[in-house]
Amino acid sequence: RMGKQSNLSAVQSMPSKDKPFVFVHIEKTGGTSMREFIADSAAEHQLTSFIPCHGGLHCITLSLPSSNGSSAADLSNTSVVAGHFFWDVWRGLPACGVSNQSSPLSCQPAVFVMGRHPIDRAISYYYQRCFQLASCIGYQRKIN
């Protein structure tokens, strides 16, 4: 509920290279579905995005490509970023670039992070990583 003290504008603007939308996907929080929605929405609005598992990007992409590396991508117009990234991933976008971590940003990112109850997340992680493996049989007996 937006009250009189809200600092949010009544109309939210579309992401742009100067005001990118960034989704930091924490593992096992339902973020895959959210990332799917973000990728579809970015495509629908013809926004340039960098979203692993979409647009030909490998799913295990944990950082933006370096601007001087051999795997460098053109991020100059990127306005949507979503994936398993470190908190300040937007600093790798050309429009947000800074020379060091203490410099002010030259862009204004809108950052979204989803959380999950830690016990539910741990159980989900266990079932994904260990439950079906033969090497985890002893743990299965103890937990079940």
What confidence category does residue 106 fall into, taking pLDDT thresholds of 50, 70 and 90?
A: confident
**Cα distances (angstroms) measured from residue 78 to each of 17, 46, 102, 133, 141:** 5, 11, 23, 40, 48
Tell me the whole-structure pTM to 2 decimals.
Answer: 0.73
Least confident interval from 6-10, 56-60, 79-83: 6-10
**Cα distances (angstroms) measured from residue 121 to each of 5, 46, 61, 92, 132:** 34, 34, 22, 29, 17
| Close Cβ partners of 104 (under 8 Å, ≥ 6 residues apart) | 98
**Position 67, amino acid:** S
**Cα distances (angstroms) measured from residue 46 to each of 40, 52, 65, 134:** 10, 17, 21, 46
What confidence category does residue 47 fall into, taking pLDDT thresholds of 50, 70 and 90?
A: very high
Residue range 115-132, pLDDT digits in tens: 888 888 888 877 777 766
